[in-house]
Amino acid sequence: MSEVKLAVLGSEGAGKSALTVRFLTRRFIGEYASNSECIYTKHLCLDGRQTHLEIYDPCSQPRKGKLSLTNELHWADGFVIVYDISDRTSFAFAKALLYRIRESHLGAFKKVVESPVFLVGNKQDLCHMREVGWNEGQKLAMENKCQFCELSAAEHYQEVMTMFTKALRNITTNFKVKEKRRSSGSKSMAKLINSVFGKRRKSV
């Protein structure tokens, strides 16, 4: 059984908990107590393979102090970044999250393969109160090389399901790429060792 760890991040009130619970249970709950972090677990079948899924929801964002994401960057295999299309402040926070994740791929936390990221504009049912255009979300996603969609946790269960499924597939594909690179790296190292020590044996 494969294990997948997904972090769902966003500002307080963006709807990240609603999206997560909608995906896991099909139910929509509009209000959550956001004073504690949660890790949801679920066993599911993804493309014929049993998968143990863990979804991290920090709940209490934005936090006081610096936006470090240190724990999330170490823990997560992929990220879903959520903002509220009727709240420009939440979009700015999503942008900061994406910048921090992108920065990590270039800095001390750099991994062999970048973690998949999905940018989600939530609360599409509040289009009449829209403050963030679809084009803005798409542009931000393109700038950060991640996938993008707009949906409504309240009204679009199927779209929520599709988004999470795509995110999980991206992560499992990423696992395969990592494994190939690790295998390739091991073979290259073996060839190098054989080459070096092989030559030494011949010269003795």
Averaged pLDDT for residues 165-194: 69
Percent of the chain with pLDDT over 70: 75
Distance CA 81, CA 121 (A): 9
What's the pLDDT score for residue 38?
86
What's the pLDDT score for residue 177?
72
Total domain count for the chain?
1
Q: Give 79-131 pLDDT, tens digit per residue.
A: 999 999 999 999 999 999 999 998 876 665 555 457 899 999 999 999 999 99
Statement: residue 67 has pLDDT above 70: no
Q: What is the DSSP string of the chain?
A: -EEEEEEEEE-TTSSHHHHHHHHHHS--------SS-EEEEEEEEETTEEEEEEEEE--SPSPSS----HHHHHH-SEEEEEEETT-HHHHHHHHHHHHHHHHHHHSTT--SSPPPEEEEEE-GGGGGG--S-HHHHHHHHHHTT-EEEE--TTT-HHHHHHHHHHHHHHHHHHHHHHHHHHHHHHHHHHHHHHHHHHHHHHH-
Across the chain, mean pLDDT equals 83
Q: Is residue 66 part of a domain?
A: yes
Q: Is residue 9 part of a domain?
A: yes
Q: Is residue 127 part of a domain?
A: yes
- CATH, residue 109: 3.40.50.300
Percent of the chain with pLDDT over 90: 59
Q: Is residue 109 part of a domain?
A: yes
Kindly state the greatest CA–CA separation across the chain. 81
Q: Give 141-165 pLDDT, tens digit per residue.
A: 999 999 999 999 999 999 999 999 9
Q: Is residue 204 part of a domain?
A: no
What's the pLDDT score for residue 69?
79
Statement: residue 11 has pLDDT above 50: yes
pTM: 0.81
Q: Is residue 54 part of a domain?
A: yes
What's the pLDDT score for residue 111?
56
CA distance readout (Å), 123 to 8, 86, 172, 204: 16, 7, 28, 73
CA distance readout (Å), 24 to 17, 41, 44, 82: 11, 9, 10, 17
- Domain containing 123 equals 2-198
Residue 123's region, left for phi above 0, alpha for psi from -120 to 50, else beta, is left
Q: Is residue 203 part of a domain?
A: no
Q: Is residue 76 part of a domain?
A: yes
What's the pLDDT score for residue 197?
44
Contacts of 24 (CB under 8 A, 6+ apart): 40, 42, 55
Averaged pLDDT for residues 64-78: 75
Statement: residue 58 has pLDDT above 50: yes
What's the pLDDT score for residue 180?
61
Statement: residue 75 has pLDDT above 50: yes
- Does residue 59 or residue 55 have the better pLDDT? 55
- 33-42, 57-66, 68-77, 128-137: range with lowest mean pLDDT: 57-66
Statement: residue 61 has pLDDT above 60: no
